[in-house]
Amino acid sequence: MVERVRFLVVGGGSTGTAIAYYLSNEVGRDVVLLEANRIGSGQTGYSTAIIRLHYSTPEVARMALTSYRVFERFEELVGGSCGFRRVGFVLAVPERLRAGLERNVSMLRSLGVETWTISPDEVKDLIPQADVDGIAAAAYEPGSGFAEPTETALSFAKAAAGNGARIVEGVRVTKVVVEGNEASRVVTERGEYAPETLVLATGVWTQRIASTFGRDVPMKVLREEIGVFARPEDFRGEHPVFADLGLDFYMRPHGDAETYVGSIEPPPTAIASPDEGGRPVSRETFLSYHERISRRFPAFERSPHLVRGWTGLYDVTPDWHPVICRDPEVRNLIWAFGLSGHGFKLAPAIGMAVRDLALGRRPEFFDPDHFSIDRFSRGRPITTTYGTGVVS
């Protein structure tokens, strides 16, 4: 039997659950979300979930700011918890990136973001354990921090269900049938759906699903490893989130005594299968992260211990920016993928934008063409201050 559905969302990560929530705020029970495993079990579950506002383009900065305002008052606005912790965010750059950083900060301030440029000495005031050698300047955001990614997706899903949406876990889409210019049927392991509008929020698995209807998406899957390091006794308590474009690493606290460490730009050769997430961290990565964090925070030299770690995957587009658009060929298909390793913090705004696209409205934050799937083939990628990488 084929079930007719008005809005069918595939994927129950932070992206798909936020979309289901914002859509169901308006159309309630007309939303069905299908998730192959469990809510938040995809890359959302491996995320370090940093929430910051520093971006190079007003479009993404506006999305980050709108999302931030949701994370700040999540319980009141959405319901449930997102685990947001406001520890502050410092982005440190070498001399060659100073002018770009200052330009970004003034663009962000013009949008109402609470951020300013600080000197290396001020970095040291914020994190006394830092050796600021090689830092020319930094951007500081006192209100930023990190959240709990799986909890956030679960809360969005619960709130969507509270609006009447149906959240179906453990059901994998095996095929999308496109007839003419329409996605007419979505085949799953347990039955078929005929959606009026189909939203694909399937992250690193998007090429797999797109192949079932003969499409190639502009995205590759890159491996990003996260190491969890123990901090020595004189470096305890929650430190600000710290990103270092000179030494290419970022770190965020996990409780009082541990720090998550990742790279800002994973090696472009680290191409992975979408099913590889969760593997342990390699010894080379551990050594390389330890060397970099010890240069910036020498206290780590006395703590060469990797407590644990995991491999996450990024769905990376050629310009490290998402695809959020109606498909130019299939009239009832909307894409939301290619979050490129920085999409957790944007989930609320993506949810709102896809709601608008699905309801035939113009998204609030960007021109409908801005995140189009064909911007690469048209030679119009998004350009940013720092080039590629998660901080762009």
Ligand X SMILES: Cc1cc2nc3c(=O)[nH]c(=O)nc-3n(C[C@H](O)[C@H](O)[C@H](O)COP(=O)(O)OP(=O)(O)OC[C@H]3O[C@@H](n4cnc5c(N)ncnc54)[C@H](O)[C@@H]3O)c2cc1C
Residues that bind ligand X (CB under 6 A): 10-16, 34-37, 41-44, 46-50, 149, 172-173, 201-205, 209, 224, 226, 262, 312-314, 339, 341-345
Closest approach of ligand X to the CB of residue 147, in Å: 9
Closest approach of ligand X to the CB of residue 35, in Å: 5
Q: For every residue of 73-89, which 3-state class applies, written as one string?
A: CHHHHCCCCCCCECCCE
d(CA 260, CA 84): 16
Closest approach of ligand X to the CB of residue 95, in Å: 26
Nearer to ligand X, 136 or 307 (CB): 307
Closest approach of ligand X to the CB of residue 143, in Å: 15
SS3 label, residue 184? strand
Q: Find the residue with minimal CB distance to ligand X.
A: 13
Nearest CA to 223 out of 43, 49, 376, 347 is that of: 43
Nearer to ligand X, 38 or 295 (CB): 38
Closest approach of ligand X to the CB of residue 108, in Å: 16
Q: How far is CA 360 from CA 43, 59, 162, 354, in A?
A: 29, 20, 24, 10
Task: Spell 253-282 as b/e; 16+ CB within 10 A means b.
Answer: bbeebebbbbbbbbeeebebebeebeeebe
Closest approach of ligand X to the CB of residue 84, in Å: 12
Q: Which residues contact 106 (CB under 8 A, 6 or more apart)?
A: none
Nearer to ligand X, 136 or 228 (CB): 228
What would the two tokens of residue 196 be? Answer: 């009026």
Closest approach of ligand X to the CB of residue 23, in Å: 15
Closest approach of ligand X to the CB of residue 106, in Å: 23
Q: Are strands 2-10 and 31-35 parallel, antiparallel or unpaired?
A: parallel
Task: Spell 40-63 as b/e; 16+ CB within 10 A means b.
Answer: bbbbbbbbbbbbbbbbbbebbbbb
Residue 266 forms beta bridges with which residues?
Answer: none
What would the two tokens of residue 10 be? Answer: 């595939």
Amino acid identity, position 270: A
